[in-house]
Each structure stands twice: as structure tokens, then as C-alpha cells.
Structure 1
Amino acid sequence: MRQSPHHPPLTAIWSRLPRLVLFVAASLPLMLLAMLAIGLAAGSAKAGAEAGRSSAETAGIVCAGENLTGKLSATDPEALARARAEAAAVPNGKGRLWKIEKPGVAPSWLFGTMHVTDPRVVAMPDAARDAFETADTVVIETIDILDPAKAQAALMSRPELTMFTDGNTLVSFLDEEDARLVEEELARRGIPLALVSRMKPWMIAGMLAMPACELERKNEGAPFLDIRIAGDAEAAGKTLLGLESIGEQMTAMADLPIEFHVRGLVETIRLADLMPDIMATMTELYLEGEIALIMPIIMAAGPENGEGDTDGYAQFEERIVLMRNRVMAERAAPIFADGNAFIAVGALHLPGEEGLVSLLRDAGYTVSAVR
């Protein structure tokens, strides 16, 4: 752990994980969109969506990290049991694929994705692949990423979403110690601070939180799951739609206070050594369909079972997850009304009393998990 004597102890840092894990899960795709749009990502998303680029040279890139579920099972089975009980109490917390039905309308499907290039994730389970193949219409969160030039134009029209345009720079919001921490971490990765000093801190944090294996696969042209779905839909001649625009997604991040984003950046750097285990846990629980278990497991594996500061978590969840859930449900309604659609959004948007599954049930649909 790269900490100076002035850095908070691991217990204090781990206590902020609810905010950080939610940030990583929600912001990685948004950060990638922005990087593509401003030319920082190597390789184009369009090329990544093409079939020949996704596996041969990238499948062998292995991510380090240990699933914390196994650690808990061996060292603290009682904490593991509490984490499982917490997850079990979350409505619709288990399952990646959901069947959407209403009398008189052909069934549709809701699929939770994870925005990573891991070949196990990109492959999709057989049931989801079958549902995708039979659907006439395919929907992802945003289709803007399929056209980097269009995404770039959209962002350039509102530069304040991703860049400081008022004369400030990142260093304007950092004390001396944190500024040194950020500069050293960027230098370690070969990125001069001057190159990114006008970028909003959430973009830099997302870039630093992304494991090296993910960056390597993306730079080799491997698509993350949502892009693969979109590319396959285009290749099959299906109608392809998006629920949001890149501008709306960036606005959601920009709406949060700058102080929140600055803290997120600093904490991302301080937790850098833990990120491989966090990402491994998120990925493997996702593959098992245990969406609601991700946060309890990560928190339970930390010092003092991760109990502590949740400052900013509720605000982030409301703006980045819950508010977008309501928009997605509203915009998905006419698509589901036509039937035979396959809608793929981040799995984070599915569980909970205000998750998409609950919102669709409230709208009169029968929604059932596909095992």
C-alpha cells in the first residue's frame, strides 16, 4: 500500500468502499466514453465491436486478484453469512437475465451487463445469448460510443462536462499532500499531470481504477460486453437503440459536487493495491448472478467488517443509479410495448426497491428471473 504517514489508516479508507465500489462500477463505462471522445483511448470502439478483434490475442491477458468470498469463507464464515443475509434482503438481487411479459405482447428480455472486457463476461450465458438471437430490437445504455466522431462532437459542444473551463485545474482542489500523491501516481503510469490537469477528477479516477489488464485488452481492441452486444446486433441487422445519450451520462457525473469527485480520486489512488481483489470479486460474483452480494462481500472482507463512513454514498447512488433507473424505465416502456426486445444495461441498475426490475413490475409487467 503506497501510503505516507499522513494518509488515513486502511480501516478508514476501507470504510469508504461503498462509495468507491459504486463509483468504479458506474463510472468506468462513462470514463471510457469520454476517453474515446477526446482521443485518450488507443484503438476505436468501432474496431473493438468487430468480431475478429475480440479474442485471439486478448483472451490470454489475465487479471490478477482474489475473490474475497473465498477469503471470508476461510477466515470469517460468520461475516460471510451476514453478507449473504444482507444480499438476500435486497429485492431482485440475484440474476442477470429477466423475462419481461405482459398479456398481448411478445415477451422481451432485460439483461444486466458488466462493463469489462473479461472474455468470461463478454461471452454471455447461453440463456441470454438465446434471448438476444431471437430479439428483433436490441437496446444498450447508449449507442453514442459506436460513433467516436459523433461522441466527440457531443462532448465538444459541452466541454464543461468533462473539463475545467473556468480557469481552475485539478490542483486547484487538492491540498499539497494530495496533489503530490496524484502527481506521483500519474507519473508511475507514464501520464504527465499537465496532460490531464484540466480533466474533471472523476475521469482521472476512472482511468486509474481500471486494472492494467482491462486497459491492455481495451488497447488491443477487445470490446466490453455492451459494445460486443451492439456490434453483434448491427451485424445481424437488428434494430439497435440507446436509452441515454453520452451528454446525459456525463451530466449525471458532473452534477455531483466537485469535492465528492476529488475525494473519489484520492481514495482511488490510496486503494490502488486493493483494486485487483475488488475487481475480481465484482466480476466473479457478477458471473454467478449474485449482484446484490457484491457490496456486502467487499465490505465484510475489510477491517472491522467495513463498517464506517458512508458520506456521499447516498447522493452518488441517487444521481448515478436511481435517477437513471427511472429514466431508463420510462424510455424502455414503448420498446417493451412493441415486444421482442433485448435490453442490456449495467447490472447495478437491476436490484433493489427502485431498481429496473421493481420499476417494471410497478408498470404492470410480469418480470421473472431466468435461471
Structure 2
Amino acid sequence: MWSLVEGANLGWFRRAALVATAILVGWLSSAGAVGAAPALWLVRDQDSEIYLFGTLHALPAGLSWRTPLYDAAYARAHTVWFEADLSGADPRTIGDIVRRYGVDPGAPLSRKLPAADLRALSQQVDLARIDHLRPWAVALMLSVRGAAAGGAQVQKGADLAVTRTATRDAKPMRAFETLEDQARMFASLSNAAEVQYLSDVIREQGRRRARLTLAASGESLQQAWISGDVERLAPGLVGDMRRENPSLYDALLRRRNLAWTDALVRQMAGSGVELVNVGALHLIGEDGLPALLQARGFEVTRVQ
């Protein structure tokens, strides 16, 4: 795992790219529950339909999440969308991206973090092997490792599961971003926002009960996602980020969602059916894709 940012291990960064928009192991979408199933929205105008599905990027093996309604949407879709295009994810390209955006040899990580966070981090990783990395890269690495420790696997996540199915079925696939776009997004954070992001992840990883389990109810995010019970849980998760690290919220969610909305509006100008699979965090609240598309005048309905 550590060789990713040192030597561009393809497997690690492929997984990291898929969770780059989820911070921890998947967050949740908002809106009232419509049946016990992961949330799915339908956006339509006179001659176009786009289904919006909020994924968890990492899931345990054997978890059944596909429903007849999702499968029907997939079958009808002419094109299947994902967050990132992994077609160019060869080791040389990945290594170049990491060297350009994830490494800072002139300012070691050990000089950027507060002393308490540095001590906590040293209990989780070998500092000597990551001291050249930028805070966002370390935060992402810790998040992936935290997901794996909880039994979740990106290879079993909804995104890669649908990618494999679409590849098998020769479905046309499109992506909103490239891997470089995602790395550039994290690298564009201010120093303060980037350090705070890592500090938050360090503290999260140090807790016995991280956000994979909500302390108040004991209900896991995964359970809430699979049951579609997101109305109560989602606002606090996204609200925390918006309040505590507004720069990260703006870069990770708001600006990207606005760009993705523009892309989907262009698609709605044509005709047909499309299926969009993105991290469920991108479907939350007033800056989520359902709300933004509704504000553009489209009919938006949560159908699952």
C-alpha cells in the first residue's frame, strides 16, 4: 500500500481514485426514504431521463444491494456514467500524477502537522515512508486503509461492480473526471484546508468507533445506505464538513457538483435514458445533484 505514492502502485491508486470523492468509506444521500433500498432518483424532461444512484465505493464481500428497480434502470440506460475515467490508469501515468500533485519534498509532512496529530499519525504509519507526501495524499491513504480494516473492499463496491457489468455488456460508459482531475482537486486545497483534512482523518482513524458506526444509534453508514434510511443521518455528516472545513466542502462537493450538473444538463438537451453512479455524498442537500438539477427546471423524483 505504501508503495503507491512512492512507486505508483496501480492497485492502490485505482482504489484511491474511486474513494477520492468520499473522504471516508462512503457517505449518504438525503431525502425521505422510499422503501428499504439504496437511494435512486429519476431526472426527466419531455424526451430524456437520467437516473442518479448514490454509491458506496467500498463494501464487504457478499453484500446484495442491486434491486429490480436499479437493474431496470441499468437495462434501459443507453450510457452508464461514473465519477472517474480509469481507462488510462497505467503505472507510468499514475506515478506521474502522484509526483506532480501528491509529493512535496521541499516541505516535509512532519513540519506541517500540529505536534499532537504528528504523534497520533506516528502510531498509525511509518512516518519516514510518507514524510515526502502532501497531507491530502496521506489522508486519502489512511481512509482507504480504514475502509479495509472495517471489512469493506473497493473491488466489491458498487462502482466497480457496475463497471464490470457494463464492460461485460459492452455498455457505453462515460466519466465526469479523469484521475488527474481528482488529484488536481485535492492539490488545489489551501494549506490550512489540506492539513485540517488530514488532521480530521488522523483523529477519525484513532477512534475505536469511527464514522463507520454512529455513536448515537450504533447504526452503521452501510446499514443506512443499504436500507435507504438517509433522511436522519446524512445532514449531520455533510453539515460537519461544510461547517468545519468549508474549503474542502467547496472543492470536494459544491464546485464539482456544479460542473457535473452542467454536463448532465447538456445530456438532457438530447434524448434517451442514462444512468449516473457517483458517491452518495454528491446527492446530498442543496448542493447535491438532485437539488441542482431540480433548480434547473427538471422534474426530479426519488424513486427508490
Range of TM-score over shorter length: 0.7 to 0.9
Letter in 1 for 2:50: S
Residue 64 of structure 2 corresponds to residue 126 of structure 1 = no
Residue 12 of structure 2 corresponds to residue 39 of structure 1 = no
Deviation track 1:166-207 (CA, whole Å, cap 9, x = no partner) reads x11111213444333322221xxxxx3222211221222232
Q: Mark the CA change 1:298 to 1:331 in structure 2 (over 3 Å): closer, same or farther.
A: closer
1:291 counterpart residue number: 230
Correspondence for 1:355 among 285, 288, 299: 288
Q: Which is greater in Rg? A: 1
Residue 221 of structure 2 corresponds to residue 282 of structure 1 = yes
Correspondence for 1:259 among 173, 176, 192: 192
Residue 267 of structure 2 corresponds to residue 325 of structure 1 = no
Query: Runs of 5+ in structure 2 lacking a partner?
Result: 16-27, 214-219
Deviation track 1:6-53 (CA, whole Å, cap 9, x = no partner) reads xxxxxxxxxxxxxxxxxxxxxxxxx99x769921746977xxxxxxxx
Deviation at 1:223, TM superposition (A): 3.5
Matches within 5 A, 1:228-243: 228-243=161-176
Q: TM-score, normalised by structure 2?
A: 0.77
Matches within 5 A, 1:185-224: 185-186=124-125, 192-210=126-144, 214=148, 222-224=155-157
1:339 counterpart residue number: 272
Correspondence for 1:149 among 67, 73, 90: 90
Q: Mark the CA change 1:293 to 1:272 in structure 2 (over 3 Å): closer, same or farther.
A: same
Correspondence for 2:112 among 146, 170, 173: 173
Deviation track 1:192-246 (CA, whole Å, cap 9, x = no partner) reads 3222211221222232234656268677x83421122112111101101001122
Deviation at 1:343, TM superposition (A): 0.8
**Inter-partner Cα distance in structure 2 for 1:222 and 1:308:** 28
Identify, as 1 or 2, the structure richer in helix.
1
Deviation at 1:135, TM superposition (A): 1.3
Q: Mark the CA change 1:124 to 1:273 in structure 2 (over 3 Å): closer, same or farther.
A: farther
**Inter-partner Cα distance in structure 2 for 1:111 and 1:335:** 17
Residue 102 of structure 2 corresponds to residue 162 of structure 1 = yes
Asked if structure 2 preserves the Cα contact closer than 8 Å seen for 1:37 and 1:148, the reply is: no
Asked if structure 2 preserves the Cα contact closer than 8 Å seen for 1:162 and 1:199, the reply is: yes
2:247 counterpart residue number: 315
Asked if structure 2 preserves the Cα contact closer than 8 Å seen for 1:121 and 1:225, the reply is: no
**Inter-partner Cα distance in structure 1 for 2:236 and 2:248:** 20
Give SS of 1:180's match: helix
Deviation at 1:278, TM superposition (A): 1.4
- Corresponding pairs, count: 281
Deviation track 1:139-183 (CA, whole Å, cap 9, x = no partner) reads 001122x44207x51661573321115x11111213444333322
**Inter-partner Cα distance in structure 2 for 1:36 and 1:113:** 29
**Inter-partner Cα distance in structure 1 for 2:241 and 2:278:** 29
Give SS of 1:139's match: strand
Q: Mark the CA change 1:40 to 1:225 in structure 2 (over 3 Å): closer, same or farther.
A: same
Give SS of 2:233's match: helix
**Inter-partner Cα distance in structure 2 for 1:242 and 1:98:** 19
Correspondence for 1:104 among 30, 34, 47: 47
2:25 counterpart residue number: none
Residue 226 of structure 2 corresponds to residue 226 of structure 1 = no
Give SS of 1:116's match: coil
Letter in 1 for 2:265: A
Q: Mark the CA change 1:206 to 1:121 in structure 2 (over 3 Å): closer, same or farther.
A: farther
**Inter-partner Cα distance in structure 1 for 2:175 and 2:241:** 36
Q: Mark the CA change 1:93 to 1:154 in structure 2 (over 3 Å): closer, same or farther.
A: farther
Q: Mark the CA change 1:202 to 1:193 in structure 2 (over 3 Å): closer, same or farther.
A: same
Identity percentage of aligned residues: 21
Letter in 2 for 1:283: Q
Give SS of 1:238's match: coil
Q: Mark the CA change 1:158 to 1:35 in structure 2 (over 3 Å): closer, same or farther.
A: closer
Letter in 1 for 2:254: L
Letter in 1 for 2:44: E
Letter in 2 for 1:193: L
2:217 counterpart residue number: none
Give SS of 1:341's match: strand
Letter in 2 for 1:272: Q
Q: Mark the CA change 1:308 to 1:228 in structure 2 (over 3 Å): closer, same or farther.
A: closer
**Inter-partner Cα distance in structure 2 for 1:268 and 1:235:** 36
Give SS of 1:141's match: strand
